[in-house]
Amino acid sequence: MLTIETLFPAPSDAMRAALEAAPRSLMAVNAAINYQQSLALDDPRYESTTQARAEQFEHRFHSRFNYNRATGEFAPPQQGKHVLFFGHVGCGKSTELTQLCHQLHHPDRYWVVRVDLLNMIDPSDARYSDVWLAVAERLVAQLQAEQIPVSDVVLNRLRNWFSERVLVSESLQDLNASVQSEAEVGGGIPFVGKLLAKFTSTIRFGSTHRDTLRTVVQNTYAEFVGAMNLLVAEVTEQLQALGRGQRVLFAIDGTDRFKGDDWRRLFVEDANQLVMVNAIAVYTVPMALKSCGARLDLFETIVLPMIKLHEFSAGRSRREAAYRTLRAIVLKRCHHSLFEDLAALDALITWSGGHLRDALRLLNYACASAETPTLRRADVDAAAQELAYDYRDWLHADHYPVLAAAMRDPDNTGTSDTITMLVERSALLEYNTGSWRLPHPVITLLQGYQRAAAAASTADGSPAAAAKA
């Protein structure tokens, strides 16, 4: 039986408590798994992945925002910047963004406004105007909650845009009446906040006003941007005067889970409109955007590396730091006594390829199918087969040769529409900030993959390569 001491020498009291708090039956583990939800800042299940990901990603992230955590040095950016935070969907971007921005949220650095777009707009049909209306709503709500004053002159600029440009549309008259009746009492920040909330709600839930409101907002977008820029500038001055922060940082989460057409439109086709707001902002975006070959000249970029289980440059030698980290992540959700042995636990980690969400999916599948009170290696392998079938359900015959080729030569030598799609859906995992790619380990279990690997080996007369694949 596994013990905490054999897995984690000299664990801290907090670590021990988190491990002991994990569910102690497979049914309870299965019921508690939610791999769609990111972890809150103080969730004891959070485990630092800095060493497991390598590449100094935490330092690189903070450097993008002019902060050196090691020295404490911070130089406030003199102008706006829009930063794309790349990573595979499900690799932990939202959870890491929470932690990274918490380190930046400080009176001597930034006043961070977190924006969870999935709870504010329709992720299946999103536009640049929807994004910034939602950001404005969160900004005003946080100003109200933290009692940061804003002058009437600045607020009136935004309020006048609503009343003189948006609500005057004939088709929006009943919306205008609804807004006035619900929000007019009180004025100031509360009134503007209710206006923004009404607009984002109208767009999100696809009411009869949705298309009209979007059209009016987009036709007068430059005026909205002018009002927004004035608001951000005023808030920055107030924060500095109150000793609450040097600049505003918008941490915009959820854009990585937009539909493919939407994130392409947002960051490629409508990039100019998106960055018109003179703000410092970071957006979570899918790794596929980086792999698609689109020009992203208007943005700065930073990659959240995959958890790297092996060093390709060193003969794919195993990285023990990565395995220790993933053991902790798994065992904070499944008590260590529920694994028959270390081999079963490490097999689950290996099959995940370092993909956090798929590690939890494998745990979910193994718990659901196990016929004994503990998880055996056979249960983990069965879970890997089930996850492989999930991928098989959408993989096409012409995908397998691409995946087999990546196994034989992982170096990133270019892209294609097929590669972009495989990266977007995590069948092809990118490591070392995209310098090399490998198929997801469970895909090697599929017949389509095995036949493609064998055919490639036969074609180049390399039985050793076939065995390696």
User: Average pLDDT of 432-444?
Assistant: 92
According to the model, what pLDDT value does residue 356 have? 97
% of the chain surpassing 70 pLDDT: 92
According to the model, what pLDDT value does residue 232 have? 97
Q: Do 105 and 131 fall within a single domain?
A: yes
Cβ–Cβ < 8 Å for 273, 265: no
Q: Do 275 and 312 fall within a single domain?
A: no
d(CA 458, CA 456): 5
Residue 364 lies in a domain: yes
Q: Do 332 and 451 fall within a single domain?
A: no
Residue 44 lies in a domain: no
Residue 51 lies in a domain: no
Is the model's pTM score more than 0.85? yes
- pLDDT digit string, tens, across residues 279-311: 999 999 999 999 888 889 999 999 999 999 998
The total domain count for the chain is 3
Q: Do 265 and 324 fall within a single domain?
A: no
User: Average pLDDT of 438-456?
Assistant: 97
According to the model, what pLDDT value does residue 173 have? 62
User: Average pLDDT of 189-197?
Assistant: 87
According to the model, what pLDDT value does residue 94 have? 95
pLDDT at 262 over 60: yes
- pLDDT digit string, tens, across residues 327-347: 999 999 999 999 999 999 999
Q: Do 68 and 23 fall within a single domain?
A: no
Burial of 365 (0-12, 13-18, 19+ CB in 10 A): buried
Beta strands in 45-183, from DSSP E residues, in sequence order:
67-68, 73-74, 81-87, 110-116
List of residues 6+ apart from 353 with CB closer than 8 A: 306, 309, 429, 438, 440, 441, 442
pLDDT at 134 over 90: yes
Q: Do 220 and 312 fall within a single domain?
A: no
Q: Do 204 and 273 fall within a single domain?
A: yes
Cross-strand pairs, 431: 436
Domain boundaries, position 273: 56-303
Q: Do 184 and 119 fall within a single domain?
A: yes
Q: What Å distances lie between residue 308 and 317, 322, 353, CA to CA?
A: 11, 6, 8
pLDDT bin (cut points 50, 70, 90) of residue 69 is very high
